[in-house]
Structure 1
Amino acid sequence: MEGEIQSIPDIAKHDARPKVSGIEDLIYGSLAGMMGKFVEYPFDTVKVRLQTSESQVFSGTIDCLKQTWQNEGFRGFYRGLTSPLVGAMAENALAFYAYNRIQTAIRKIADTPNEADLSLPQLFASGGLSGTLCAFVISPVELVKCKLQVENVQGYGSPNASTATKVRFTGPISVVAHLLRTQGIAGIYKGITPTVARETVGVGFWFGAYELVCRRLLQLKQRRVAQDGGQPRKLAKDDLGPAGIVLAGGCAGITYNLTSYPIDVVKSFIQTADVRQPSANAQAVQERPGILSTVRTVYSRGGIPAFYRGLGITLIRAFPANAAMFMTYEYLSRLSAELRK
C-alpha cells in the first residue's frame, strides 16, 4: 500500500516543510514532553503503586484511586512530579532530536534521497536507537519518581493512621542525597538495564506506530482526493488535521505500553525495593535486586497477570498523553515552518 503514495505523479507537488533544526527538535520535544507529563502523571502514580504494592494494599485501580484521594488528596496524584517533569522534557527533547538525526544518518548510509520516505523497519530502528539513548537520561529520573510515588503507601489500611503518612523523603533532592550518601553514583542508576530494554523496545514501537498510522491515514486521504477528481500530489504529515495527529499519537502511546509493560514492571520493582521494604538492613537495601530474581518475585505474586497489573489505567492515560505530545510537537513544527515562509 505504501507504493500507492510514492508512485503518484509530482503534479501540484506539495511544498515540503522546511527541515526542523536540531535546536527546534530539542525545544519542541521538551515542550511536548511537559504537556504529556501533566496529562499522564496522575495515572502514572496509580500505575506504579499498583505495580509495586502488595495485593492487600490495593484491591485494584478504583481502590488505589480511592485510597490515594482519602489519604493524600489531589496532591497525592502529583507526588514526585518535579523530577519526572524535568525528565520528560529532557527525554522527549532527546527522543525527537535523536530520532530525526538517526534518520539522516540512515539516509546517508542507504543513499536514500531526502524527499523519499524511509521504510517502516528503518523508522522502527531509528526509534529504537533513540530510545536506547533516552534510557540513560530517564533512568535516574524514574528512580526518584518511583520512590516518591511508592514509599508512603505501604501503610495504607494500617490500624495506625499515622503509618500511612510517615515518609522518609521530602522531595527529589532528598532522594538523590540519600542515594549518593548510601550507594554512591551507582545508586542513581539502579534499574538501568531494564530501563534500556524498555526504552529500546518501547520507543521503537512508539515512533513506528505513529509513522504507520500517519501513512495509513494519508493513504485513505489520497484515495478520497483521487475519487473527488482533485489534482494528484504526494501528501505529507502537514496534510493531516488535528484528528489524525491525535489518533496516530494515541495509538503510538498504546503500542508503547503494550510492548514494554512487563519490562516496566520489573524496572519499577527493582527501583522501589528499598522503600517497599524499609525495615531491611542497610546491606540488603544497598544490594541491587537481580533481574531474574525480580522476575521470579513478580511471578510469585500472581503469575503472568502480575506483569500486567496496572496496565488498564496505563492504557487509559496513554492515549490522551501521547496525543498531546505529538500534537504539541507537530503543530509547533508547522508554526515554525509557516513563520519561516
Structure 2
Amino acid sequence: MELSCGRPAAALPGMEAESPGEDYESLPSGASLSTHMTAGAVAGILEHTVMYPVDSVKTRMQSLQPDPKAQYKSVYGALKKIIHTEGFWRPLRGINVTMLGAGPAHAMYFACYEKMKRTLSDIIHHGGNSHLANGIAGSMATLLHDAVMNPAEVVKQRMQMYNSPYKTVLECIRTVHRTEGLAAFYRSYTTQLTMNVPFQAIHFITYEFMQEQINPRRQYNPRSHVLSGAIAGAVAAAATTPLDVCKTLLNTQENMALSSVNISGHLSGMANAFRTVYHLGGIPGYFRGVQARVIYQMPSTAIAWSVYEFFKYFLTKHKLEKRAPY
C-alpha cells in the first residue's frame, strides 16, 4: 500500500497504462489526506455494519456468567435463537452509535497510518517496505482510533447484552453518564489500547506481508486486498481474544459475574479484569467467543481493506483526471 514506491505503472481496467507518475501506488500528490480520510471513513462504516450481527453474538458469547436463556454453542445457533426469541432486529441494536463512531475513527486511523508508514519506512528502509514501520504506524494510528471509538464501544456492547435495560442509544448514554459518570465511557480505554495496539501491529504486518507475496507490484487488485485483509484479521483476532474478553467485561460491567466474585460497585483496570476472568473461567475463559471473533473479523477486515483500497484508487484517479489537459 506504499504510495511513493515508484514501481512501474499498472494499467487501469479498460484503459492503457499511463505514465509512471500516474500509477495508483506511485503518486503521493494524488493520494491526499482527504482521500485517505474519506476512503477510511467509508471502509470503517462498512466494516462495522455489514458484520454487526456477528459482533452482537461475540459480545454475548464472551459473557462470563450468562443468563441460562443466553447460552449459545455456535454463531449460527446464537443468531437463530436471538432472532426467534427476541425479534428480527435484535442483533442490530446499537448499530447506529457504531456507525457514528466508526466514520471519524477510521478516517483518522487510515490517514495517520499512511502518513506514519511513509515517514517511518523512509527512515528505517529508504525506498522500500518495512514491516517494523508498518507495525509502529498501525499502533500509533490506534491511539487516535480508540480515543473516538471507545465511548461508542461501551454503548454498543451494553445495547448488545442479553436483557439489556436500554431501549435506545440516547437512553443508554444518559443513564451511564448519570449513574457512573463520564469516566465510564473510557473505563476500558487502556485495556482497549492494550488489545488494539498488538492487534493492529499484527494486522498491518500480516496484511503488508501478504501483499508482498500475492501482489508484489502493489497494483489495485481487489482479490488480493480481500484475501490479505481476511488473513490479517483472522490472525490478529485469534491472538488478541483474551484482551477482548477483558475489554467486554469492563465495558458491560456484567452484574452476575461481578457479584459472584464479591465485587461491589464498578470493575476497573486491566489487571482486575484479567484476574476476574481467570477466577470465573480459568484459562479457557480468556478465549470465550474466539470463534465468533474470528468469524466476525475475517470478513470485516477484508471489507475494510477492499473498500479502502477501492476508494483510494477511485478518488486518486478522479483527481488525476480533473487535472489532466484535454
Q: TM-score per shorter chain, which class?
A: 0.7 to 0.9
The counterpart of 1:98, out of the listed 109, 112, 118, is 112
Amino acid corresponding to residue 26 of structure 1 in structure 2: M
Of 88-97 and 260-269, more deviation after overlay is shown by 88-97
* 1:250 correspondence with 2:230: yes
Match of 1:210 among 189, 204, 207: 207
Out of 151, 173, 178, the residue aligned to residue 181 of structure 1 is 178
Picking from 86, 90, 100, the partner of 1:72 is 86
- Please give the alpha-carbon distance, in whole angstroms, between the structure 1 residues aligned to 2:256 and 2:137: 37
Task: State the alpha-carbon separation in 2 of the partners of residues 293 and 197 from structure 1.
Answer: 14
Paired residues of 2:187 and 2:250 also in contact (CA < 8 A): yes
Shift of the alpha carbon at 1:25? Answer: 1.3
| 1:7-58 per-position Cα deviation (integer Å, ceiling 9, x unaligned) | x999x99544332211111111010011111221111000000101525440
1:117 offset after TM fit, Å?
2.1
Equivalent position of 1:260 in the other structure = 240
- Percent identity between matched residues is 25
CA-to-partner distance for each residue in 1:262-308, whole Å, 9 max, x for gaps? Answer: 1111010011115657999xx934x3334333222222333222111
Task: Tell me if the contact between 1:150 and 1:276 (Cα under 8 Å) persists in the aligned partners.
Answer: no
Q: Secondary structure at the match of 2:272?
A: helix
- The structure whose RCO (Cα within 8 Å, separation 6+) is larger is 1
Q: 1:112 to 1:213 in 2, by over 3 A?
A: closer
- Which amino acid letter does the alignment assign opposite residue 336 of structure 1? L
Change (3 A) 1:306 1:251: same
Shift in alpha-carbon separation, 1:132–1:9, aligned structure 2, 3 A: closer
Structure label with greater radius of gyration: 1
Q: Tell me, in whole angstroms, the C-alpha distance in 1 between the residues paired with 2:226 and 2:254.
A: 39
Code of the residue aligned with 1:299 in structure 2: it is Y
Q: What is the aligned counterpart of 1:284 among 261, 264, 280?
A: 264
Match runs of 1:1-341 below 5 Å:
14-15=20-21, 16-17=23-24, 18-19=27-28, 20-54=31-65, 56=68, 57-61=70-74, 62-107=76-121, 110=123, 116-152=127-163, 167-219=164-216, 235-238=217-220, 241-273=221-253, 284-285=264-265, 287-341=266-320
**Residue 217 of structure 1: how far off its partner (Å):** 0.9
**Structure 1, residues 87-128: CA drift from partner, whole Å, max 9, x if none?**
2222221210110121243256x2865xx2231111111111
For 1:294 and 1:120, how far apart are their aligned partners in 2? 32
Q: How many angstroms apart in 2 are the aligned matches of 1:48 and 1:261?
A: 12
Q: Distance in 2 between matches of 1:148 and 1:53?
A: 17
Unaligned regions of 5+ residues in structure 1, if any? Answer: 1-5, 153-166, 220-234
